[in-house]
Amino acid sequence: MKLSKSVAFITFSILTLSTATFVVSEFFYEISINKMLDAKYQIDTIIQRGLVREALPTIFFAEILGLSYDKVTNFFTFDERVAEKKILSNNVIKYVNVKKIKPNIIYIDYEVRQPIAVIADFSNRAIDDEAFIFQLAPYFPVMKLPSIYLGINKIDEDLVNERVNLAFHIMKIIEYALLPHDITLEYIDLSRVSHPSYGKREIVVIFEVSCRKHYLRLNVKNYSKDLGNYLSIKDKINDQEWKRVDKVIDMRINKLAYIEELVLEGG
């Protein structure tokens, strides 16, 4: 008889606990449903913050996250980590952190990549100081950037890295030279650095000098020295006694600078 009472008590306890659990579950379920249906928890505001103020329009983030007045997104179902992955899928974004702020705000802290040159091999491609290639338009205004021509027709990571590093080294040499305001780097052509014929191997660097161009032909092995020699004689090359025309300056032979004037039609 005592055993029967114990079984009955255990059964009653289980039923009571199950009922309580069901009531609690229903209670929280009802709260969740109410929150999901409550208009104040519908995301309707994006706040953005970055190193550059409004580097990208807010509509960019709204579109990539699928947020709009026509498509209601609930605050509690919005996943911050998923949102970050969506934003980073656009390679113009270097860093992003997404936070939700109750009741209806998405806060986005981000950084965009800054172009330092255009990759001339492909349409609408730029590169940053980390050698990352990304889309230029429509994310950046028209800007005057030097172009780098790698001489490739498809992305070969090893070859790209090798030639980009070479281009960066050339740009560093020019940067350290502190060019005067009337001379700017315009183009670096690396398409012939591995030409089968040794006599045709060269690096071409184009400077804009007082509204004219200097086409500088450099030895692949001694380009640093060639650049230094050019920068030391550039003022003489551009003296008043010279015609104000574009010039090809061949520095490939040691201790010689062969200069050819280019008279272009209409120039």
Q: What is the domain count for the chain? A: 3
Which structural domain, as residue segments, surrounds residue 28? Answer: 2-37
Reply yes or no on whether the pLDDT at 21 is more than 80. no
Reply yes or no on whether the pLDDT at 162 is more than 80. yes
- For residue 12, what are its two tokens? 């009653």
Instruction: Tell me, yes or no, whether 232 lies in a domain.
Output: yes
Beta strands in 51-174 (DSSP E): 93-101, 105-112, 117-119, 125-127, 133-135, 147-149
Instruction: Tell me, yes or no, whether 51 lies in a domain.
Output: yes
Question: For 109-152, what is each residue's pLDDT tens digit?
Answer: 999 999 999 999 989 999 999 999 999 989 988 888 999 999 98
Instruction: Tell me, yes or no, whether 199 lies in a domain.
Output: yes
Return the higher-pLDDT residue of 37 and 226: 226
Give the whole-angstrom CA distance, residue 117 versus residue 114: 9
Reply yes or no on whether the pLDDT at 187 is more than 90. yes
Instruction: Tell me, yes or no, whether 267 lies in a domain.
Output: no
Reply yes or no on whether the pLDDT at 241 is more than 90. no
- Average pLDDT for 201-230: 91
Reply yes or no on whether the pLDDT at 20 is more than 70. no
- For residue 137, what are its two tokens? 């338009």
Q: Where residue 172 falls among pLDDT bands split at 50, 70, 90?
A: very high
Taking alpha carbons only, the member of 114, 122, 187 closest to residue 148 is: 187
Instruction: Tell me, yes or no, whether 82 lies in a domain.
Output: yes
Indicate the residue among 95, 112, 129 that finishes a domain: 112
- 63: Cβ contacts below 8 Å, ≥ 6 apart: none
- Average pLDDT for 228-239: 76
Name which of 70-79, 94-103, 231-240, 251-260 the model is least confident about: 231-240
Taking alpha carbons only, the member of 260, 190, 258 closest to residue 229 is: 258
Query: In terms of domains, do 61 and 104 share one?
Result: yes
Query: In terms of domains, do 125 and 166 share one?
Result: yes
Reply yes or no on whether the pLDDT at 23 is more than 50. no
Give the whole-angstrom CA distance, residue 85 versus residue 260: 54
Q: Where residue 35 falls among pLDDT bands split at 50, 70, 90?
A: low
Query: In terms of domains, do 194 and 208 share one?
Result: yes
Residue 103's H or E segment, with its range, is none
Indicate the residue among 96, 112, 128 that finishes a domain: 112
Q: What pLDDT does residue 198 have? A: 86
Q: What pLDDT does residue 212 have? A: 84
User: Are 93 and 52 a contacting pair, CB within 8 Å?
Assistant: no
